Amino acid sequence: MVHCIPFILMNFFLFREYKHLKEFTGGDYLFMGLISLFGGAIGTLAIVKALFLLNFQSLTIVVLLQKLQPVFAITLAALLLKEKLKKHFLLWTGLAITAGYILTFGLSLPNFHTGSKTLYAALFALLAAFSFGSSTVFSKKILIKYNFITATFFRYGFTTLFMLVIVLATGKLSQIYSTTSFNWFIFIVIGFTTGSGAIFLFYYGLKRIKAMLATICELFFPPLGDSFRLPF
């Protein structure tokens, strides 16, 4: 819904973007698909699953592990975009991974027999970090050729299609009938603020700077405290 609702509205104003489909090469379709699959579908599903596993408690674990996103983004930017990798990167990468582990489990080994969901939430958070980090690099690849409006429009379109397939495959479409009016309000707010509104701005900036710098700027996303609760 947070992808579908903005995409429907975009079609009223940006329907001319469909003309670019004729210009898309196989590589364009590949990278746009990867952006939507990882940045839209998998990343979103992983981070929400992590939050649900923790019952929206200890949110700092999920949010802080997401801060490993630059590790993945910078690595891929060096490999795919040929952006220059600083010589101290491996040192800071190792420190970041170690710090992420300590923030999650302290100085102890994870206990696989306690029934605790922290480990699984941490793994989903790491999957989200990889997904969002890789999506930044794939997005930069697309933005080399297309403008930020085109990239945002098709990211939301492709993601909506991916998520529709996932929802249908998992038999969850019927939940739409139990969605309250307040839930719809929240979907709309998310869709036009931290959703499409933020992506438009992010892609506008990413068009003009390196992916390595963009992923560091993303760390300014405000951390969420343990008192935070989703209102639905």
The average pLDDT across 168-175 equals 91
- Distance of alpha carbon 227 from alpha carbon 59, whole angstroms: 9
pLDDT at 143 over 80: yes
Amino acid at 132: F
pLDDT attached to residue 64:
67
pLDDT at 113 over 60: no
pLDDT attached to residue 115:
58
Amino acid at 222: P
In DSSP notation, 67-91 reads TTHHHHHHHHHHHHS-PPPPTTHHH
pLDDT attached to residue 111:
57
Q: Closest Cα partner for 68 from 127, 2, 150, 5? A: 127
In angstroms, the Cα distances linking 48 to 14, 18, 44, 130, 185 are: 29, 31, 6, 15, 18
pLDDT at 223 over 50: no
User: What does the angle CA 173 – CA 186 – CA 34 come to, to the nearest 5 degrees?
Assistant: 60
Residue-wise pLDDT tens digits, 69-90: 888 898 899 999 998 887 787 7
Question: Which DSSP symbol is given to 24?
Answer: -
Q: Name the residue with higher pLDDT: 96 or 109.
A: 96
Q: What is the pTM of this model?
A: 0.81
pLDDT at 227 over 50: no
Q: For residues 219 and 70, is the Cβ–Cβ distance under 8 A?
A: yes
